[in-house]
Structure 1
Amino acid sequence: MDLRKSVGKQNELALRVAKHVIATTPGAKTSNLVFSPASINVVLSFLAAKSGGSTADHILSLLQASSTNELNTVSSKIITDILADSTRSGGPTISTANGVWTEKTVPVEPSFRNLIENSYKAAFNLVDFRTKADEVVEEVNEWVKNQTRGLITDILGSVPPQTDVIFANALFFHGRWDEEFDPSLTRDYGFHRLDGPKLRVPFMTAYDSYKHRLEVYQGFKVLELPYRGGGSNDNRYFSMLICLPDEKNGLHAMLERVASCLGFLSGEGDIRGEDADVGVVKIPKFKFGFDLDVSEALQGLGLETPLEKIAHKACVEVDEVGTKAAAATAVRCCAGLTMPRRKKYDFVADHPFLFLVKEYTSGLVLFLGQVLDPSMH
């Protein structure tokens, strides 16, 4: 199995979800957005393995996978290898965890328990949904709060006593920039919103940084901001990418274009950029959260399932030091050489842009979002 190829296929769903949510969710066209494709895909992979039948077939189609075994293997690799913590070696602090809460009166097949404990590394909990559903919800929410370091305090509201299983994933990421921004250079500048007047918000500034990488495409630019790595024994490479349209109101047109380009998030699409030198970089600080009904979005993309709801919450904070982000997803089931001199570009993100946090070796997208108003928390 080619992990990068499988992850690349799953990444295609991320842009389709973003495009659909922005087009159909009230307020999404005018508000900030963030979600975690990595977290959502782990839950979908679990669902495919558990449900089988037409539900599994639809999920396999969405994630472009050949079998549930492939999804289980990919999820296992992501959980144990790609999202392993690298704090001790100086890299990003990463935590991912899965949990399963199953009704104690419902028989559990040994093969199913083996799958969730070994492939998904999930904590297995026997609970009483029939008479203590509210207490189970409190337990799940407390688990999410602990796993996300308090950034997400709850993921579920009430669930009916007929619930048989809840599966949840939690993801936490805290990375420091490989080259931090100087706080003394942070100043208020104007940010152009898609609708309404320009507003003044704090912008971080860097000059001629050799750590930042810029690619220029027709109609937009992509700036790469790498995070500190985990040392010579860690071949992972985490970065934030900021996709900035040339036109002040060009975000949606840019998203439409990249969403239709297979392989763009993996760097293997038909849209080709040109490497360029970086001049002045100005990026607004931002901090916000977003709630997403994943099942509703997937049904809009053609997934037909009997699921009640796949709940998802994510949050992100970007400042001079780095990035802190967290996400939770839950579903309940009823049942150096000298180079030729290149043109230098300034990168001033003073209008709406797309961003993502990505691991390059595998191509895994941890978080994806849009910033329309940096002042909105």
Structure 2
Amino acid sequence: MKLTLIFLIMISFLSGCNKSENDEKPEKKELELKSKEVLEATDRFGWELLQAVNKEADPGQNVVISSLSVAQALGMTTNGAANETLSQMLDVMDFGEVSEMNEAFHNIREVLQTADPKVQVDIANSVWYRQGMPAKESFGEALEEDYDAAFREVDFSKKQEAKDLINGWVNDKTKGKIPSIVDEISAGQYMFLINAVYFLGKWQYEFDKSATKDEDFTLSDGSTMQVPMMNQETDLDFYSGEDCQAVKLPYGDGSFYMVIALPANGIELDEFINSLDTNKWSTITDNMHERGLALFMPRFEVECKFKLNQTLIDMGMELPFSEFGADFSNMTEAQVFIDEVMHKTYIKADEEGTEAAAVTSVSVVVTSVGGGGPMPFRIDRPFFFAIAEEESDAILFSGKIENPKQ
């Protein structure tokens, strides 16, 4: 359905017919009830994942994740799990029944990709499996139907060719922002399940580039550095509470937005992140009120890379990583287990808007045996951020910026 829709849009554009702007926009999809429940579970999973990754990060290290990307990659993998392995994966992600999860993710992708014609959101999935060792038919059908996953048989013995093929797909789907996700192909490699998310949105209220000036930014260790500080005076949704102040920056027509939160004095950024959950997020976003702000925020560009194995194991997903305990019998007749979950992210925020990308790869291998004037709001120290969609409450990216130049 998605491919057909994109094809029709391309034909309409190239034909040069005299159509109104609204006729050329993709039809906006509505979020179904089950999709809402899966998104809420994804957000719960995402807060826990962010806190776990942040805990393992080095002091002063930037942390950016896309829980949506990780959830979809693991969601595809869950279709191959069985028995206790399946139970552990579903318990950690709290997605309910597999078939309902699959249908929800299909709907979620359609909703996010059609939410705002002025914001580009692309979500793509692919599966690359070992030549001569096909996956079970029911597994492949589910991923092709509900995840629009490209299914490719690959000769993993030709390692460089295989890596170039997979990484070429990743590079293409992230518009070159994440050139690769696969560094090595093991002798027992069976499958890579990969999700890519790409986001490009212009601020509803852009910053004036000529107003950007180098100013001090205080790092967590107390030292300062010079960063390009953007600034503008405008009316924005703002929250002020005991533990933080936060501003909401809309993109395009307003469906997508970035929230930037500064912890109150005396509260460490990591302490604030550890307090985040669905209720805290709702408290912040539901209690924002428009007010005039003199906003100062740094231009930043950040890349992150995380291996999520131990993080997911600590969250309760132990069996899928167990060489002799994992059960992926709904995927293949062979005895396989998850060897690695790799997550890469990229985000750039400047005067025009935000470009962000994320890729998650699940590597599966065969076992060895088988009011008033504007109020100054200066973001001149480490801060938390999240990019979300208004109607669905989907959180696409979240993290912390410790060093805008790192």
Q: Which of the five TM-score ranges fits, normalised by the shorter chain?
A: 0.7 to 0.9
Deviation at 1:55, TM superposition (A): 2.5
Determine if the alignment matches structure 1 residue 43 to structure 2 residue 73: yes
Select 1:122's aligned residue among 146, 149, 154.
149
Partner Cα distance (1:155, 1:85) in 2: 28
Deviation at 1:80, TM superposition (A): 2.4
Partner Cα distance (2:303, 2:139) in 1: 34
Partner Cα distance (2:149, 2:394) in 1: 20
Number of the residue aligned with 1:217 = 241
Q: Does structure 1 conserve the Cα–Cα contact (< 8 Å) formed by 2:302 and 2:405?
A: no
Q: Does structure 1 conserve the Cα–Cα contact (< 8 Å) formed by 2:115 and 2:255?
A: no
Q: List structure 1 segments (4+ residues) > 3 angstroms apart after TM superposition.
A: 261-265, 269-274, 341-345
Residue correspondences, number: 353
Partner Cα distance (1:342, 1:257) in 2: 32
Partner Cα distance (2:94, 2:124) in 1: 24
Q: Does structure 1 conserve the Cα–Cα contact (< 8 Å) formed by 2:239 and 2:284?
A: no
Q: TM-score, normalised by structure 1?
A: 0.88
Number of the residue aligned with 1:103 = 130
Determine if the alignment matches structure 1 residue 262 to structure 2 residue 278: yes
* 1:84–1:296 distance in 2 versus 1, CA, 3 Å: farther
Q: TM-score, normalised by structure 2?
A: 0.82
Determine if the alignment matches structure 1 residue 367 to structure 2 residue 397: yes
Select 2:166's aligned residue among 136, 140, 156.
140
Deviation at 1:108, TM superposition (A): 3.0
Deviation at 1:308, TM superposition (A): 0.9
Partner Cα distance (2:247, 2:107) in 1: 28
Select 1:318's aligned residue among 342, 345, 349.
349
Deviation at 1:161, TM superposition (A): 2.9
* 1:85–1:3 distance in 2 versus 1, CA, 3 Å: closer
* Aligned residue type for 1:24: E
Q: Structure 1 unaligned segments of length 5 or more: list them.
A: 230-235, 336-340
Identity, in percent, stands at: 25
Select 2:250's aligned residue among 226, 230, 233.
226
Select 1:9's aligned residue among 41, 48, 51.
41
Partner Cα distance (2:275, 2:115) in 1: 34
Q: Does structure 2 conserve the Cα–Cα contact (< 8 Å) formed by 1:133 and 1:161?
A: no
- Bigger-Rg structure (1/2): 2
Number of the residue aligned with 2:221 = 195
Q: Does structure 2 conserve the Cα–Cα contact (< 8 Å) formed by 1:287 and 1:374?
A: yes
Number of the residue aligned with 2:335 = none
Partner Cα distance (2:197, 2:185) in 1: 23
* Aligned residue type for 1:225: L
| Secondary structure of the corresponding residue to residue 50 of structure 1 | coil
Partner Cα distance (2:285, 2:395) in 1: 18
Q: Deviations over 1:200-248 (max 9, x none)?
A: 21111111x12x211112220121100002xxxxxx8100111111227
Q: Structure 2 unaligned segments of length 5 or more: list them.
A: 1-32, 322-337
